[in-house]
C-alpha cells in the first residue's frame, strides 16, 4: 500500500497542491504538532500545565492531511485530544500553549484549558471534552455551511463511534445531505480499553453503509493517503453530494491522558506502530520525491525555533487577573 501511495505521489507531484514543497510545509505542520505535544508533556511534568491533558503525538497525519483539503473558512470540530486539530486548522501555537498554561493570552483567555479549545476565527468551532460532542458540533456547523458554500469536519476517536452522537448525527447528515466529513481517528483504544473488545462489526468505516453514506478506511499515518481521501470527501461535500465517513487508522504514542502509562498495550504492537511513525514516513517519502536531507533539516530547524518562541512567550505571559476578568454568564 505504501509503495502504491509513493508511486502516486511521484506521478502527481506536478499537480496543484501536490508538489514536494507543499508537502514539506505539511510535514512541518506535523512536526509542529509533535513538538507541541512534547513541550506540553514536559510542562505538565513541571506542573505548568494543570488538570489533565491528552496528547495526540503519533496521530499528526490525520488532522494535517484533512485540514490541508479545507479552505481557511471551512469549519472543524475536535476532541479533548485536540491540540493537533487546533494547530492543523490554523490556531497560533503561542496562543494555544498559553491556553494550556492558563495564561491571559491563551486562545480562550485561559478559560478553556487543554480539552475545550475554541478558535472561531480559524473555523474551529470547538474541541469537546465529552466523547462524541464534536460529531454534533460539526453536523450543526454543516447546516450553516450548506448555506454558506462551506464544509465542516468532525474529528473524533474510535470510542465516539459507540456514542449516540455518532449514530444520530450520521443519519441526520445523510438525511439532510449535509456538507460534512466525519473523520474517525481510530487509534484502537477507547481510553484504556481495546477498540476491538467493545466495538461490534470489526471496522468503523463500514458503519456508514447502514446510512447509505460513502466511507473509506485510510492509513492514518500516511499524510498523502489521508489528504487524498480528504480531498475526495471534501470535494463531494462541497459539490452537494453529502457526507462521508473516513476511518483513519492510527496510534497514539502516549497513553490516554497524563495519568496513563498505557501498560495495557502489548510491546510488540507499540513497536510495530512506532516503526510507522507518521513523521518518519513523511520524511522518507519527501526524500524519495527528491528533497534533500538539508531541506528537511532546515524545515525542522524552522519549526523548532517557532515552537521555542511560542513556549517562551507563553511562559512569560501573565495569568488572568480575577479582578480584571469580567466574565459574564450571558451575552448582553
Partner 1 sequence: MSELEFRTAIRDAIDEEIERDPAVVFFGEDVAAPGGVFMTTPGLHDKHSQDRVFDTPISELAMAGAAFGAAVTGLRPVIEIMFGDFMALPMDSLVNQSAKFWYVSNEQASVPLVVRSAVGAGGRFGAMHSQIHATWFQGIPGIKIVAPSNPADAKGLLKSAIRDDNPVIFLEHKRLYSMKGPEPTEETVPLGKAAVVREGADITIVSALRGVRDALDAAEDLAGDGIDAEVLDIRSLRPLDHETVLESVARTNRVMIVEEGTRVGGWAGNLLGILAAEGLHDLDDAWIVATDDTPAPYSPTLEDAWLPAGAEIAAAVRERLGVAAAS
Name the residue among 190, 181, 209, 211 with its Cα closest to residue 65. Answer: 181
CA distance 329 to 332: 9
What are the beta bridge partners of residue 168? none
Q: How far, in whole angstroms, is CA 245 from its chain's centroid?
A: 15
CB of 171 to partner 1, least distance (A): 6
Question: Which lies closer to partner 1 via its Cβ, residue 25 or residue 325?
Answer: 325
CB of 105 to partner 1, least distance (A): 11
Is residue 73 helix, strand or coil?
coil
171-200 residues in contact with partner 1 (CB under 8 A) are: 171-172, 175
- Give the one residue of 6, 116, 216, 313 binding partner 1; rule: CB under 8 A: 116
CB of 193 to partner 1, least distance (A): 21
Q: How far, in whole angstroms, is CA 166 from its chain's centroid?
A: 18
Structural element, H or E, at residue 228: helix 223-238
The answer to the question of residue 82 lying near partner 1 (CB under 8 A) is no
Burial label for 113, CB within 10 Å (0-12, 13-18, 19+), is buried
CB of 135 to partner 1, least distance (A): 7
Q: Contacts with partner 1: how many residues (CB under 8 A)?
A: 45
Question: Which lies closer to partner 1 via its Cβ, residue 76 or residue 281?
Answer: 76
Name the residue among 222, 196, 199 with its Cα closest to residue 276. Answer: 222
Question: Which lies closer to partner 1 via its Cβ, residue 148 or residue 193?
Answer: 148
From 165-173, 224-232, 297-305, 307-315, give the range in contact with partner 1 by CB under 8 A: 165-173
The answer to the question of residue 80 lying near partner 1 (CB under 8 A) is no
Name the residue among 54, 254, 239 with its Cα closest to residue 155. Answer: 54
Residues of this chain that interact with partner 1 (CB under 8 A) are 75, 77, 106-109, 111-112, 116, 118-121, 125-126, 128-130, 133, 135-145, 147-148, 152, 164-165, 168-169, 171-172, 175, 327-331
Amino acid at each position: 500500500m505504501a509503495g502504491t501511495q509513493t508511486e502516486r505521489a511521484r506521478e502527481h507531484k506536478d499537480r496543484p497542491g501536490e508538489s514536494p514543497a507543499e508537502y514539506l510545509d505539511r510535514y512541518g505542520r506535523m512536526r509542529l504538532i509533535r513538538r507541541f505535544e512534547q513541550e506540553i508533556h514536559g510542562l505538565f511534568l513541571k506542573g505548568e500545565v494543570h488538570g489533565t491533558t491528552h496528547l495526540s503525538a503519533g496521530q499528526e497525519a490525520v488532522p494535517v492531511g484533512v485540514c490541508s483539503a479545507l479552505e481557511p473558512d471551512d469549519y472543524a470540530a475536535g476532541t479533548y485530544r485536540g491540540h493537533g486539530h487546533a494547530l492543523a486548522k490554523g490556531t497560533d501555537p503561542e496562543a494555544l500553549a498559553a491556553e494550556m498554561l492558563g495564561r491571559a493570552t491563551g486562545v480562550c483567555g485561559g478559560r478553556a484549558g487543554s480539552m475545550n479549545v475554541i478558535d472561531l476565527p480559524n473555523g474551529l468551532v470547538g474541541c469537546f471534552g465529552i466523547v462524541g460532542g464534536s460529531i454534533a458540533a460539526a453536523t450543526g456547523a454543516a447546516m450553516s455551511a450548506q448555506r454558506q458554500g462551506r464544509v465542516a469536519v468532525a474529528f473524533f476517536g474510535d470510542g465516539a463511534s459507540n456514542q449516540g452522537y455518532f449514530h444520530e448525527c450520521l443519519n441526520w447528515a445523510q438525511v439532510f445531505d449535509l456538507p460534512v466529513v466525519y473523520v474517525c481517528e481510530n487509534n484502537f483504544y477507547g481510553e484504556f480499553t481495546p477498540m476491538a473488545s467493545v466495538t461490534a462489526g470489526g471496522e468503523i468505516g463500514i458503519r456508514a453503509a447502514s446510512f447509505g453514506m460513502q466511507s473509506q478506511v485510510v492509513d492514518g499515518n500516511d499524510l498523502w493517503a489521508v489528504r487524498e481521501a480528504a480531498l475526495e470527501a471534501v470535494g463531494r461535500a462541497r459539490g452537494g453530494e453529502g457526507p462521508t465517513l473516513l476511518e483513519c487508522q492510527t496510534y497514539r504514542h502516549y497513553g490516554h491522558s497524563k495519568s496513563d502509562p498505557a501498560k495495557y498495550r502489548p510491546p510488540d504492537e507499540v513497536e510495530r506502530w512506532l516503526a510507522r511513525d507518521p513523521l518518519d514516513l513523511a520524511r522518507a517519502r519527501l526524500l524519495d520525491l527528491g528533497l534533500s536531507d538539508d531541506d528537511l533539516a532546515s524545515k525542522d530547524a524552522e519549526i523548532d525555533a517557532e515552537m521555542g518562541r511560542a513556549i517562551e512567550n507563553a511562559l512569560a505571559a501573565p495569568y488572568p487577573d480575577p479582578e480584571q476578568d469580567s466574565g459574564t454568564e450571558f451575552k448582553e
